[in-house]
Amino acid sequence: MSQNVKLSTLLVLNTLDQDPILSFLEWDADDAEVQAECVAHLIRAAENLGLSGNLLARYLLHVFTHEANLVSETMERTGLPPGSSLRQAFYQDIELLYPLLTQPTSKFLGEKLLDDYEPTQNVYDKTEDFLLPWIEAAQTPRDYAEALLTYYARYGYGELAGHVVFRWDDATNKIRGVAHFERMQMKNLIGYQRQKELLLQNTRAFVHGKPANHVLLVGARGTGKSSAVKALVSEYEEGGLRLVQVTKEQLRKLPEIMTALRNYAGRKFILFLDDISFEDSDAEFKAVKSAIEGGVSSCPPNVRLYATSNRRHLVRETWRDREQEELYRDDTMHETISLSDRFGLVIHYHTPDQDEYLAIIDHMLSQKGIHLSPEELRIAGLRWEMTHSGRSGRTAQQFVAHYLGIH
């Protein structure tokens, strides 16, 4: 190695000296064994992470965007740009690292192979689309630093930047990114225009920091309630919106989950409770009521609950409930509907009529380049409906999958 970089003198990026690859840069520059070990580690990282090009610079960029540092953590926790002093310290660190970020890797490790490395398989990363052009256009260390700050403000860092949908991990009490999420576009969900507009209006207000309600989507099965909620992340990802799936078994942990998300003030989170229903004696029923309104801790301003259900009041109701002998019968009825009342916006989904059902099929087939005549569409679509579970968006999707499979 012909040059050394003193990572121990970094101010806010000082955790870099603990990195298993970068720490080699402070070792004896003339030690061939150390140099070979560093090169081997860097090649392994390139293959595992799909890094290409000037490897040391690309690896550093990966660390900046995927590992926590004082600047990224502070911006995420506060939702604010760094203060002037913290920004200046960040500038100084980037200036110190600038040779590593701009010069060929061989200048530090003596291996020209690493100056323009091609991994076996490239891996898509947001840095490719957003950050790399800014970095390549940077003329000074300050330009480079500002590109990173813009990235942190827009996407965050680590898993939060790499994913838009998360699940709650009970083992670690943290959110974990969902790697294989089927993205949906609101424009591809046919029908229910008023319902979609209500959902979009509320979510738009939430993302922009305006007052917004918790949302309950209720109605017939297979009508696209869940798909509409999932499509919101495609609409507002750039505004910082993230989706966190919470299972019924995890509802008792809602206060804990909300507290954790409160620490990410730079993002907006929808806690997604999909297809929920309760017995009125369920502990989860009371947990959701308390989390929305009435608990000791208030709901964080960057969190809203969006739930879907086939039941109007989320609670199973029977005729026996209406005929009970309780002295104050109205109190029981009020308790039953008290949860659904706490969702400020309730959006109802109806079963599609025949024309709406066929329009959904026609749109899905058109996306695949298939155009049936109105008569062909009506005969095939209605025949499928009669032998399956009635008209719904889900039934239409199943018909399209069947049609594409046999043609």
Residues 154 and 48 in one domain: yes
Listed residues 97, 126, 161: the one ending a domain: 161
Region 114-120 average pLDDT: 95
When pLDDT is cut at 50, 70 and 90, the band that residue 2 belongs to is very low
Name which residue leads in pLDDT, 35 or 230: 230
- What local confidence, expressed as pLDDT, does residue 398 receive? 84
- For residue 174, the surrounding DSSP H or E stretch is strand 174-177
Is there a domain that residue 2 lies in? no
Of 161, 189, 212, the domain-final residue: 161
Predicted pLDDT at 202: 96
Domain with 69, as residue range(s), is: 7-161
Of the two residues 295 and 227, the one the predictor is more confident about is 227
For residues 390 and 97, the model is more confident at 97
Query: Per the domain annotation, does 84 fall within a domain?
Result: yes
pLDDT of 282 > 70? The answer is no
Number of domains in the chain: 3
330 and 358 share a domain? Answer: no
φ/ψ of residue 264, rounded to 5 = -110, 65
Q: Report the alpha-carbon distance of residue 135 to residue 115 in Å, rounded.
A: 17
Averaged pLDDT for residues 114-122: 93
Q: Would you give the DSSP letter of residue 237?
A: G
Task: Select the highest-mean-pLDDT range: 220-224, 238-242, 307-311.
Answer: 238-242
Residues 59 and 199 in one domain: no
Could you tell me if residue 338 is inside a domain? yes
Asked if the model's pLDDT at residue 92 lies above 70, the reply is: yes
Average pLDDT, the chain: 84
Least confident of 9-18, 274-283, 390-399: 274-283
Judgement on whether residues 290 and 196 belong to the same structural domain of the protein: yes
pLDDT greater than 80 at residue 336: no
* Most confident range, picked from 74-83, 121-130, 354-363: 74-83
Residues 402 and 381 grouped into a single domain: yes
| Same domain assignment for residues 264 and 338 | yes
Asked if residue 172 is part of any domain, the answer here is no
List, in order, residues 6 or more apart from 254 with CB less than 8 Å away: 246, 271, 287, 288, 290, 291
Does residue 331 sit in the same domain as residue 361?
no
The verdict on 381 and 269 lying in the same domain is: no
Flag whether pLDDT at 220 surpasses 60: yes
CATH of the domain at 217: 3.40.50.300
Cα-atom radius of gyration of the chain, to the nearest Å?
27
Q: Which pLDDT score, from 0 to 100, does residue 316 have?
A: 56
Q: In what order do the strands lie in the sheet with 241-245?
A: 174-177, 165-169, 241-245, 268-273, 303-309, 215-219, 345-349
The verdict on residue 314 lying in a domain is yes
Q: What is the pLDDT of residue 212?
A: 93
DSSP state of 190: -
Q: Is residue 152 domain-resident? A: yes
Label the pairing between strands 165-169 and 345-349.
unpaired
- Same domain, yes or no, for 188 and 316? yes
pLDDT at 292 over 90: no
Specify whether the CB–CB gap between 114 and 56 falls below 8 A: yes
Comparing CA positions, the residue from 213, 187, 191 lying closest to residue 349 is 191
The reply to whether 182 falls in a domain is yes
As a whole number, mean pLDDT of residues 333-344 equals 63
Joined tokens for residue 116: 């323009």
What average pLDDT does the segment 347-374 reach?
84
Q: Are residues 209 and 284 in the same domain?
A: yes
Are 151 and 41 found together in one domain?
yes
Residue 59 lies in a domain: yes
Given 349, 370, 388, which residue is the final one in a domain? 349
Query: If pLDDT is split at 50, 70 and 90, which confidence band does 1 have?
Result: very low
- 21 with 125, same domain: the answer is yes
